[in-house]
Amino acid sequence: MLDSIQKHLLEEVADLHSVPEGAYNIRSNGQLESRNTTANIDIITKTDKSGIDIKIKDNTKNESVHIPVVLSKSGLKETVYNDFYIGENCDVTIVAGCGISNCGVQDAEHDGVHRFFVGKNSKIRYIEKHYGEGDGTGNRILNPRTEVYQEEGSYVDMEMIQIKGVDSTNRTTIAKLKKDAKMVVHEGIMTHGGQKAESSYEVELNGEGSSADVVSRSVARDDSTQIFSASLIGNTKCNGHAECDAIIMDKAHVVAIPRLDANDVDAALIHEAAIGKIAGEQLIKLMTLGLTESEAEEQIINGFLH
């Protein structure tokens, strides 16, 4: 049974108030808490290392898989390998996420390696939220690695959000797209205190007609540091767009390093980046509507990240 801290973490990372419908695998403090499979979605514990295989049959539509992870023990460090094998012509939603509550003095760390093998013409919506809390001096560390392999005509929509409270994160996402495959990524990261976040994307557009749209939005407060790099590689007739926008506050430090690599005359690649503070006019407008300055800031940040 989950305690109240764990239940709160689950709410934050997976919007779960009770047991989810459909397939799920809830991992708590390094152990399986509960699991459900369906006729179309199987979840199998790996035997060679920590983690699970999620197997989704061809033509599975309108189903979901939840695989949240919660950590509430100081000093726990784990690396978990989750592989998603998605058949052809599917349309499924996958909700992952990790919440850490660290009230102790030792670091708590979860490193998740997620691989997605997306079958022909399948459509995936993937939501990943990271959240940390707790008064301890131990750090909350999350290092996710995400690999996406898209077959012809597949569509992947990823929403990757780091809400707050993660002291150190090193996020790596790579993707390889075949013919007519499409990827849409929306990343939102907030750092505060002395936190450090590093995020890198490398998307290879290998198949004719493939396309990628990677949008990263971040807010860096206090003394936090963020480094964002996004590489779009166009090896054929393809379309790529990357955008990284950051709001900088207080004494924060933000670095954005996009990279466009066009290897084909029919590769069309675009990048935009902007770093700046919250516009004064926006703050004043909200304050004239009755918000305090910090409420107005909060509202602007939330609108920007979501």
What minimum distance in Å lies between the beta carbon of 217 and its own copies?
A: 14
Query: What three-state secondary structure class fits 257?
Result: strand
Q: Closest CB to its own copies among 61 and 277?
A: 277
Query: What three-state secondary structure class fits 294?
Result: helix
Q: Closest CB to its own copies among 144 and 234?
A: 234
Q: Closest CB to its own copies among 264 and 298?
A: 264
What minimum distance in Å lies between the beta carbon of 1 and its own copies?
A: 46
Q: Residue 134: beta bridge partners? A: none
Residues in contact with its own copies by CB under 8 A are 234, 246, 248-277
Both tokens of 301, joined, read 């940040």
What would you measure as the largest C-alpha separation in the chain, in angstroms?
60
End-to-end CA distance of the chain, in Å?
A: 32
What minimum distance in Å lies between the beta carbon of 261 and its own copies?
A: 5
Q: Closest CB to its own copies among 115 and 271?
A: 271
What minimum distance in Å lies between the beta carbon of 212 and its own copies?
A: 14
Q: Closest CB to its own copies among 111 and 261?
A: 261
What minimum distance in Å lies between the beta carbon of 121 and its own copies?
A: 28
Of 157, 160, 110, nearest to 132 by C-alpha is 110
Q: Distance between CA 51 and CA 109 in Å, rounded?
A: 15
Phi first, then psi, for residue 304 (nearest 5°) are -70, -40
